[in-house]
Amino acid sequence: MEARGLNRTEMKLIAIFAMAVDHVALFLLSPGRRPDLFGLFALMRFFGRLTGPTMFFFLSEGFRRTSSRERYGLRLLLFGLISQIPYALVRGHSLLYPDYNVILTLFVSFLVLSASEKIENRGLNFAVVFALILLTIRFDWGLVGPLLAWFFFRNADNRPLQRRFYALISLIMVAAPCLHFLRIGLPWYGEIWQLGMFLFLPFLSLYNGEPGRPLKWLFYLFYPAHLFLLWLLK
């Protein structure tokens, strides 16, 4: 009997669609380009907040289940480097600008999980994990993504604790920009679309643990391809 809910492939496909919606808004409908479409922009970015947590959750799942961690890590590094070219183009940056794409964030998160598992000394373990997470401060989904991946991995068998920690991180992600905007005299709702972070909570509850049809290469190929297309449209 087929399990109810969503399997891994179905969740990843929804996350990829949410990413495309989010990036269309970010690069083609931003308030700087189309101030008249702020409502649509905010709605699309709200939905797009689903993608990041899903990717880092499945990184933690993939790290535990993969048949070869070496190939997994190398694949992330390779496609992260490839994706940096269209990522820099669509953001209008040079390749040397310290702003790095989410696949490279996933690669550093992979290193975080590796260090967390292999380093036995607790003090050294904490220091290395903390340093690696801090390294992602200029990365897409930096700091938050690796922290989520680490917590999901360390508490893989405790879904209620995962949800509570994620809810706390989401609350911080929503409150921080609101307080910042108030402090500098801008409308507090400037990034109200960050509320979309909470979409992942019911989404996670729907995960049935089944793998679904394998689509290993879809995300790796879609990510740089859609960024390059958005750069052409931009």
**What's the pLDDT at 2?**
52
For the segment 188-216, the average pLDDT, to the nearest whole number, is 91
What would the pLDDT profile of 148-160 be if each residue is shown by its tens digit?
Answer: 999 999 999 999 9
Which residues touch 206 (CB under 8 Å, ≥6 apart)?
Answer: 5, 6, 11
Tokens of residue 157, six digits: 């068998």
pLDDT score of 183 more than 70: yes
pLDDT score of 129 more than 70: yes
**What's the pLDDT at 3?**
63
Neighbours of 152 (CB within 10 A): 25
The answer to whether the CB of 110 falls within 8 A of the CB of 132 is no
For the segment 82-104, the average pLDDT, to the nearest whole number, is 94
Question: What is the pLDDT of the chain when averaged over all its residues?
Answer: 94
55 vs 38: CA distance, rounded Å: 27
The distance from CA 234 to its chain's CA centroid, rounded to whole angstroms, is 23
For the segment 115-132, the average pLDDT, to the nearest whole number, is 97
Determine which of 12-26, 45-59, 108-122, 200-214 has the lowest per-residue pLDDT on average.
200-214
pLDDT score of 1 more than 70: no
For the segment 37-45, the average pLDDT, to the nearest whole number, is 94
211 vs 226: CA distance, rounded Å: 25
Higher pLDDT among residues 2 and 121, named by residue: 121
**What's the pLDDT at 213?**
85
What would the pLDDT profile of 57-78 be if each residue is shown by its tens digit?
Answer: 999 999 999 989 999 999 999 9
Give 100's strand partners: 139
Task: Calculate what percentage of the chain has a pLDDT beyond 70.
Answer: 99
59 vs 113: CA distance, rounded Å: 9
Q: Report the first-to-last Cα separation within the chain, whole angstroms.
A: 47
Give residue for tokens 């600008």. 97
| Angle at which helices 218-233 and 102-118 cross, to 10° | 150
